[in-house]
Amino acid sequence: MHKHLLVTGGAGFIGSNFVNYWHEKHPQDKIIVLDALTYAGNRQNLINLENSPNFFFIHGDICDRPLVDNLLEAEKITTIAHFAAESHVDRSILTPSTFIQTNIIGTFTLLESFRHYWQKQNQPSAYRFLHVSTDEVYGSLKAHESAFKENTPYAPNSPYSASKAGSDHLVRAYYHTYNLPTIITNCSNNYGAYHFPEKLIPLMCINILLGKSLPVYGDGQNIRDWLYVKDHCSALDVVLNKGKEGETYNIGGNNEVKNIDLVELICQIMDEIAPNLPVKPANQLITYVKDRAGHDRRYAIDSSKLQKELGWKPKATLESGLRSTLQWYINNQQWWQPLLSTDYQKYYQQVYGTFK
Ligand code: NAD
Ligand code: DAU
């Protein structure tokens, strides 16, 4: 049976990578993207699909219940892949309310709508509600602590991660209360093409190309566990096709790196592959800046459940994924230049004190 997917947030970073991936791998499936096109949503990310008969774009909000109800019925949706969210921790510190609205109320709206629709169809067991979540719900690890497992207690520390934790709890409750066929995935830090400039890797890459300073928070010793976005997409494919309803799967690349080491590596690769850099070697641009409030020290994901039970493995190494990502930003300046808008500069000034 061909799937009819509703992909929320499909114009954002991971959502658009997922839609492009899915369409190539499963061209017979119908994909409907529902996206509010916030600052982070960009139809350019989906430009390759615009003429495909199996792709449709709906500009709308996941909190709009009548819209979601109509979409599920009209498009005979079998699968929701829910990516739509406010996703940036620094913005959640500045304006938490939009995170509560989209991440909690938005997820609740989708769950309610899907529940009624699914019940009306006599509860088909093949339907799925895939909730794409984050490792940040598990909180922060100390140096000696072992990586997050699916049963690690939740301990979110930022308004962003607290709102994601709230949405995870709702999804869990809908499985236990109504038997709604949900699956939750908790993934580590992604990187790759179409990543909005505010996030660490694209920010460093773009600033190197522009000769701007490279702001490293605090002492630069915080650790993140990096996963190439295409490996995240292949994991979600496996989860949607083989995963068990009601389960949670952790997804990660086993690539724990200190921020400062990652920034040094980005500088080194950019020195090698980017032509005519304004400042070279690029690491002269590194500047330590005021730490993020409540900055989590370390994330690490144990994805052995996914690997053992569903047979998934990431393909990219940090070095290979980073090289193709940085090359993509070098080749696609017309994609990111317009994103450095007045609004973005205003945001940048709020976080970093200057847009130099
Ligand atoms: P993103 O910020 O790049 O994209 C979010 C998308 O959601 C945008 O297209 C935006 O327009 C859309 N959106 C926002 N509010 C909406 C609303 N109310 N209605 C409809 N659409 C709305 O985010 P991302 O980095 O691609 O993350 C996607 C999902 O994956 C999020 O749920 C995030 O929590 C999760 N996640 C991200 C990472 C990461 O490293 N980026 C890691 C693990 C999990
Ligand atoms: O772990 C998964 C999460 O990864 C996702 O759920 C989030 O949506 C995603 O944004 C990401 O969150 P982080 O806060 O880890 O990502 P970010 O790219 O913002 O920052 C990565 C690390 O780099 C973090 O320790 C903060 C630091 N940093 C970030 C920026 C933007 C800096 O040192 N300087 C910066 O300018």
Atom of ligand 1 nearest to the CA of 189: 40
DSSP structural state of residue 9:
T
Contacts of 214 (CB under 8 A, 6+ apart): 204, 207, 208, 263, 267, 282, 283, 285, 286, 287
Averaged pLDDT score across all residues of the chain: 98
**Test site for ligand 1: of 87, 167, 196, 343, most ligand atoms within 8 A of the Cβ:** 87
Query: Per-residue DSSP letters for 68-88?
Result: HHHHHHHTT--EEEE--S---
Per-residue pLDDT tens digits for 283-300? 999 999 999 999 999 999
89 pLDDT higher than 90: yes
Q: Look up tokens 């739509």; give the residue.
A: 84
Alpha carbon distance 146, 130 (integer Å): 27
At residue 305, the pLDDT reads 98
pLDDT higher than threshold 80 for residue 26 = yes
Average pLDDT of span 28-54: 97
For residue 354, pLDDT beyond 90: no
Nearest protein Cα to ligand 2, atom 11:
189
- The C-alpha R_g of the chain, in whole angstroms, comes to 20
Question: If pLDDT is split at 50, 70 and 90, which confidence band does 348 have?
Answer: very high
High-pLDDT (> 90) share of the chain, %: 99
Ligand 1: residues within 6 Å at CB?
Answer: 8-9, 11-15, 34-38, 40-41, 61-63, 83-85, 87, 102, 106, 132-134, 164, 187, 189-190, 196
CB of 197 sitting under 6 A from ligand 2: no
Look up the pTM and report it.
0.99
The SS3 call for residue 286 is strand
pLDDT in tens, 206-261: 999 999 999 999 999 999 999 999 999 999 999 999 999 999 999 999 999 999 99
Q: Which two tokens stand for residue 207?
A: 């600033």
| Segment 51-76 mean pLDDT | 98
Q: How many Å apart are CA 21 and CA 18, to the nearest integer?
A: 5
pLDDT of amino acid 240 = 98
Q: What is the per-residue pLDDT across 123-153, written as a single tens digit (0 to 9) for each?
A: 999 999 999 999 999 999 999 999 999 999 9
Query: Topology of domain 4-192+227-251, per CATH?
Result: Rossmann fold (3.40.50)
Q: Using CA atoms, how far apart are residues 267 and 133, in angstroms rounded to an integer? A: 30
144 CA to middle of ligand 1, Å?
A: 31
* CB atoms closer than 10 angstroms to residue 71: 19
Ligand 2 neighbourhood includes 286 CB (under 6 angstroms): no
The pLDDT of residue 355 is above 90: no
Query: ∠ CA(41), CA(269), CA(273), 5° rounding?
Result: 85
**pLDDT by residue (tens digit) across 111-125?**
999 999 999 999 999
CA distance 114 to 180: 9
**Pocket mutation for ligand 1, best pick of 6, 7, 8, 13 (most atoms within 8 Å of C-beta):** 13
Sign for the CA dihedral angle at 21, 12, 287, 161 comes to negative
Domain boundary assignment for the chain: 4-192+227-251
Q: Is 299 in the pocket of ligand 2 (CB under 6 A)?
A: yes
Answer whether residue 333 shows pLDDT above 80: yes
Closest residue to atom 4 of ligand 1, CA basis: 12
Atom of ligand 2 nearest to the CA of 90: 19
Tokens of residue 245, six digits: 């309803």
Chain length of the chain = 356
Which residues are identified as catalytic?
135-136, 160
The ligand 2 atom nearest the CA atom of 87? 8
Residue 18, ligand 2, Cβ within 6 A = no
pLDDT-above-70 percentage for the chain: 100
Contact 232, 255 (CB under 8 A): no
Question: 13 C-alpha vs ligand 1 centroid, how far in Å?
Answer: 7
pLDDT category, 1, cuts 50, 70, 90?
confident
pLDDT at 356 over 80: no
